[in-house]
A and B are shown apart, each in its own frame.
Chain A
Amino acid sequence: MDAREYNTCVHQLSDALFRFAWKCTGQQSDAHDVVQGSFEVLWQKKEEVSTAKAKAFLFQVAYRQSIDNYRKRSRFMYTDAPEESYSPVNPDLKKVLDSALAQLDERSRALVLLKDYEGYSYDEIGQITGLNESQVKVYLFRARKILKEYLVSVENIL
């Protein structure tokens, strides 16, 4: 990958990576750091990473940095899950989903985002996160159950 291809990756992938990192870390500032760090690593490894593999590589780095970043901080610093954000007065679906996502641990959240935002298969998610396919299946099953129960509970409140 040369500089031109790298810059193309910046234009094409940075938005998705930022959204992923933002939802993973729960902090916009942390997401900026994750994106910056991920592309720095990509640039350092540009000779080894082809353009076709750049996206998976970036999400792999961003996943690790998001998990590490999240673990360094308080486990309850997820600011995208304010209690007042899903007020019954304004039950916006996006806010409800963000609040539901905040119920998950950082790993399950990352897996759900990789699945829903980027459409990766269980196998691909396993390659990015370093988990095997069965582990991915189990993590996602638990995550979906939590999300479903949360959404049902909110619906009941509404």
Chain B
Amino acid sequence: MIMVTWENYEEYMVMYADGELSAAEEQALMAFLYEHPELQSELTAFTMTKMIPDAAETYDRKESLLQPVQEKKVIALPVWRRYAIAAGVALLLMAGGARLLFTGNDVMNSEHSLVSNTSGSNVTDPVAETTVPDKNNLAANIPVAKNEVIPTVPPVQADNRKGVKTRPVKVKTAKPNTPAIAQEALATVETLPVAAPMPITTEQKNIAVAVTNVPALAIQYREDETADEAKSFVDKLPLAETKKQGMKTLAGEVATGYGRVSSFTQEIAHSNVSVKISRKKLVLSF
């Protein structure tokens, strides 16, 4: 039971001024004042004892209290530099893509070279044996075929007979740069007219020459792929050697730049450096 009396009312008034009374205590004090209104002025006097801080009284030596803080390094770049850097990064990324393209061709060449090596090492691979003839062999045989074989039988007919439609010249074994094989191929071609003697018109002769030449070029192209392991996409382009060399140099530089960007990106990923592109600034925090 809260009792405000003449003996303790000042204590309640002070606590009221200090805001320390509970609701019940405040209600009891108000009830006491209601009974003794002459004490209201005394309550007002107690509330007037509250000190009022002067906001104008400030401490003007804050700087002397401050301690050095290791601020984060912020590099603010102009807008045009931000875009320049972004463009540079994009260019390097594109260059990286181009490098992947070149690398992909190298991989393909490696796969072809594997086939070539397989055939070259006398492994009995029927596909390799029948589809990879020798370049020199063909170059030497084509004129012979034109002059000697074609008047008797078209090579296409001979190929069709064996079920290979795109190979007018059938070579049993294709061991590169082997004169014995070349002779064998020539002998094979020369024997074809005997197997299928037919009368040949002039028109047929012309077609036979054309058919003989075109597949020979195709075969030569395939042979290029398998013969040179290191040949890249650039080497296959019909460009002058100086231009090819220039493209290779450029590709090398781009690849180097791409490698630098990749390593830089990885370093950033493994460090506490953060890159933030704000509206007008490129902020590097580390």
Contacts and interface: CB of A to CB of B under 8 A. Distances in A.
A101 B68 CA distance: 38
A14 B58 CA distance: 8
A32 B61 contact: yes
Interface string A114-158: 011100011000000000000001001100110110011000000
- Chain A contact residues: over half helix, strand or loop, or mixed? helix
Given A15-B57, A97-B52, A113-B51, A140 B14 contact: yes
A113 B50 CA distance: 9
Contacts of A15: 57-59
A65 B61 CA distance: 18
Nearest to A146: B49
Contacts of A100: 49
Contact of B14 (A4, A39, A94, A144): A144
Given A17-B59, A140-B14, A141-B11, A116 B50 contact: yes
Contacts of A54: none
Interface string A1-44: 01110110011001111110011000000001001100100010
Given A18-B58, A22-B57, A137-B15, A116 B52 contact: yes
B102 interface: no
Given A7-B67, A116-B52, A141 B59 contact: no
A16 B66 contact: no
B15 to A, nearest CB: 7
Contacts of B67: 3, 6-7, 43
Contact of B18 (A18, A22, A115, A148): A115
B202 interface: no
Contacts of B61: 32, 35-36
A43 B68 CA distance: 12
A19 B54 contact: yes
A36 B70 CA distance: 22
A112 interface: yes
Interface residues of B, number: 29
A117 B53 contact: yes
Contacts of B20: 121-122, 137
Interface in A51-67: none
Interface in B157-190: none
B120 to A, nearest CB: 71
B279 interface: no
Contacts of A122: 18, 20
Interface string B35-56: 0000000100110111111100
A152 B51 CA distance: 15
B187 to A, nearest CB: 91
Contacts of A151: 45, 48-49
A144 B46 contact: yes
Contacts of B64: 36
20 contacts: A3-B70, A7-B67, A10-B66, A14-B59, A18-B58, A19-B54, A35-B65, A97-B51, A101-B51, A112-B51, A116-B50, A117-B51, A117-B53, A137-B11, A144-B14, A144-B18, A144-B49, A148-B48, A151-B45, A151-B48
Top 5 nearest A-B pairs by Cβ distance?
A18-B59, A147-B49, A116-B51, A14-B59, A144-B14
Interface of B: 10-11, 14-15, 17-18, 20, 42, 45-46, 48-54, 57-59, 61-62, 64-70
